[in-house]
Chains A and B, each alone.
Chain A
């Protein structure tokens, strides 16, 4: 099932399917290594549930909910 990073639970793993963001945000997300086919894990969320911290390609990245919604993933272990 395809969803966005924001729909993942803390600790859940997923594979990136598509980065829908364009312009500067899209560019920044790609520069940071978010590209299709890559695994990521949600590590946690900040006190107000936003931003969230993910692990990707062996490093930690934080991004806001509005940004996480623009990265579509396929959650592992879900139908």
Chain B
């Protein structure tokens, strides 16, 4: 009988766990979340000589305590799901620190297999590991040497893993001595706990539970002290130990445990590892001397970021055109092949135009993800956080937050959706939430067309300056907002910035492709579902209710009677505008005029801003519809019979030209509107990803209201101040 085993893949971050996982599962993998938390859960299927196993990639952790979400998730999975084998991926060139986690699995007692990964790196650094010796010192657990990036040693790894799983060993905890005081306390507690867990389904690891209890692990303490009887037996032992350690060596049990674990590891490595002569300075450190140099480092940072954007835009430009042309072609085809009517309008103006507006940006986003994956896999991303940590700390942010801000459009032209998802690298929930909330202030690619339009209309002689000012402003607002959030709603302790700087590595094509593909797919799924729905809703709001039949008939007759093609076109435009004003969205825009008086926005801008909630790109297209030709006559006349105005004599103006001539607009108002567009509510895609990442509706709703309010107040303040001055 063949049964399906479950393997868990565990290990330190940067130990090459992902490359092992990818090499083992190939395309047979999927990404999900652990229940109730936003920690990513990757699962895959392994088929080896006709046998199958499910493999779960646990979050990369350094330890198994209750402090960080990742560690709790990894620990709970092992304890609750009890996989048949834990494959512990270990960076062989960094054995001591990696064994610290491995020991904790062994103390728990679950069957473990050590995978000494990157063994080539260890050899290159003159570190010779006697795997057989290590295995026998650890009670015979299998130890396999691999090079995950090249797929070496994986056959043996699977062979050993399946062999271990087939033996169906009971959990056999490894016993480490923690010195006389702790060992005595452990001996007192273990039998009590063993008695208790017989009934409550805890893992069969009473000594491990006793150890965690003494270390002050809050989750385990709550679990064991659930009934008062056990608590009364356990608590005095812990109290006494803590007092004793404090009095004698001024330490807590936790640090004593850590020190003894490292002593145990030293005894292992002394016996099984031979450290040859070490190079005085490794290549990676030499690169670091330049790239993180106190003066040159920031310059390289700017240059590299600039290069990233150049590559993204150069490689994305042509595909963006193809996408836009494709959707334009698709729209044209649909328009020609279908009869005029609501269905055609829904398909062409709603679905194709709506999706096209967003899918058009996908090549840019793919290129962006690709570049970020390269930065991450090469090890440089950690250096960016290192260089900028001190500056970001002033605003209550963590060094790693810079990744979110840059992918959201920190240098103009990102997208808040991947930016918000990038906040996963922040471990502390409050600083993560702060980064998520400020990411939408950045100038994403979809805001650019709006700026482009208004700058062309009013600041055509200062394009670069205005764009630069807008970039600076977005950073200022984001950082100030972070400062405010961190000292009010999201006040919290500064979290430590103790971070490993992995050695520089040349990213592999396969690694980068898999890495970026996961995120791209996530984005596409969202674009395909939510945005499609929203496009249809926006289309409906801008279409219904239609013009009264009599009005429609008159306009159509006028069109038919038009003397020239231009005249016909001008009437058609007026009809489109009248229909928009009559629709629900138009009425909402007119209604909102009462509330946007400080900015003196007219209904057409209001409609466009409402449309911008779906996607910021919609602002420009809606303004285009709303500001159709010959509006003055239409409005002044106010009558139902459109006068064929000076059509033909007047040259047709672009939207920018039309705005520039409109008496309701001024450079000052254009500036205020640009600021409003920068700050006001994130688009639906960003809001939905916020919901997904924070697990609550509270934060997207907060963003919607808070950002809109701040945006409006700031824009209005600038507008009103400007009016008083000029």
Contacts and interface: CB of A to CB of B under 8 A. Distances in A.
Given A43-B288, A46-B294, A53-B501, A27 B389 contact: no
A58 B285 CA distance: 11
B389 A46 contact: yes
A19 B93 CA distance: 25
Given A58-B125, A63-B496, A67-B497, A26 B255 contact: yes
A47 B297 contact: yes
Contacts of A55: 285
Contacts of A59: 94, 97, 500, 503
B660 interface: no
B245 interface: no
B258 interface: yes
A61 B501 contact: yes
Nearest to B379: A60
A43 to B, nearest CB: 6
Given A30-B258, A47-B297, A64 B496 contact: yes
Interface residues of B, number: 44
Contacts of B79: none
A59 B282 CA distance: 11
Given A31-B62, A67-B496, A44 B289 contact: yes
B121 to A, nearest CB: 10
A28 B501 CA distance: 15
A61 B382 CA distance: 11
Interface size class of A (residues with CB under 8 A): 35 or more
A58 B63 CA distance: 19
A25 B390 contact: no
B12 to A, nearest CB: 9
A43 B262 CA distance: 23
Given A51-B386, A62-B497, A36 B94 contact: no
Interface string B56-72: 00000011010100000
Given A53-B288, A64-B389, A46 B297 contact: yes
Contacts of A69: none
A31 B497 contact: no
A58 B93 contact: yes
A17 B618 CA distance: 62
A67 B125 CA distance: 29
A36 to B, nearest CB: 6
A57 B94 contact: yes
Interface string B491-519: 00011111111110000000000000000
A35 B262 contact: yes
Nearest to A54: B501
A46 B386 contact: yes
A50 interface: yes
B391 interface: yes
A7 B522 CA distance: 47
Given A53-B386, A62-B499, A31 B288 contact: no
A2 to B, nearest CB: 15
B675 to A, nearest CB: 30
B93 A64 contact: no
26 contacts: A24-B67, A24-B495, A24-B496, A25-B496, A25-B498, A26-B255, A27-B67, A29-B496, A29-B498, A32-B62, A32-B500, A33-B97, A47-B295, A47-B387, A48-B390, A51-B390, A51-B399, A53-B501, A57-B94, A57-B96, A60-B285, A60-B500, A60-B503, A63-B497, A63-B498, A63-B499
Given A32-B500, A46-B292, A46-B386, 17 more contacts: A19-B255, A22-B252, A25-B496, A27-B65, A28-B62, A30-B254, A30-B255, A31-B63, A31-B100, A32-B498, A35-B262, A47-B390, A51-B390, A60-B501, A60-B502, A62-B501, A64-B497
